[in-house]
């Protein structure tokens, strides 16, 4: 049973929506996958270009892309002999750009490394 509570005009989303959001954020909790989505938010790429950009091994980047595709966060299309990956969900792009952009801005202002968030084990 889903109970929706309204606070200041905002209703709690259904449990199913929260579970889906948690799964998406769980995938993005990997810095490697977040870097891949960040790179694809800037423009499409094939796996070789992504591996070079994020500094990962080709098989590892390919596995990350498979997980992101299965979750619907990344899509692909064939161009000749290669697969081109992209993010076509503007909301995913917005969330990633906002989070990474805010943390980068904080690091620039503080002129210090971004500190680990409490409770993340990082």
Measured at the alpha carbon of residue 23, what is the angle toward residues 22 and 27, in degrees to the nearest 5?
Answer: 115
Question: Is 25 among the domain residues?
Answer: no
Q: What is the mean pLDDT of residues 17-29?
A: 91
Question: Is 61 among the domain residues?
Answer: yes
Question: Is 115 among the domain residues?
Answer: no
Question: Is 98 among the domain residues?
Answer: yes
Measured at the alpha carbon of residue 23, what is the angle toward residues 67 and 102, in degrees to the nearest 5?
Answer: 95
Question: Is 2 among the domain residues?
Answer: no
| pLDDT > 90? residue 43 | yes
pTM: predicted TM-score of the whole model, two decimal places: 0.77
CATH number for the domain that contains residue 48: 1.10.10.10
Domains of the chain: total: 1
Question: Is 41 among the domain residues?
Answer: yes
| pLDDT > 70? residue 121 | no
Question: Is 89 among the domain residues?
Answer: yes
- Mean pLDDT of all residues belonging to the chain: 87
Cα–Cα distance between 106 and 36 in angstroms, integer? 22
Domain that holds residue 93: 31-110
Please report which confidence band the pLDDT of residue 107 belongs to, taking 50, 70 and 90 as the band edges: confident
Q: What is the mean pLDDT of residues 12-33?
A: 92
Please report which confidence band the pLDDT of residue 6 belongs to, taking 50, 70 and 90 as the band edges: low
Cα–Cα distance between 96 and 103 in angstroms, integer? 11
Condensed to tens digits (0 to 9), the pLDDT of residues 64-106 reads 999 999 999 999 999 999 999 999 888 988 999 899 889 888 8
Question: Is 5 among the domain residues?
Answer: no
């Amino acid at each position: 049973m889903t109970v929706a509570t309204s606070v200041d005009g905002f209703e709690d989303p259904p449990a199913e929506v929260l579970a889906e959001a948690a799964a998406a954020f769980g995938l993005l909790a990997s810095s490697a996958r977040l870097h891949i989505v960040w790179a694809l938010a800037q423009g499409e790429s094939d796996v070789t270009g992504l591996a070079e950009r994020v500094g990962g091994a080709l098989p590892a980047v390919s596995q990350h892309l498979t997980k992101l595709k299965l979750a619907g966060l990344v899509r692909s299309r064939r161009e000749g002999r290669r697969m081109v990956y992209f993010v076509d969900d503007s909301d995913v792009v917005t969330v990633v750009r906002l989070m990474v952009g805010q943390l980068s801005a904080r690091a620039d202002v503080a002129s210090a490394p971004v500190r680990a968030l409490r409770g993340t084990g990082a």
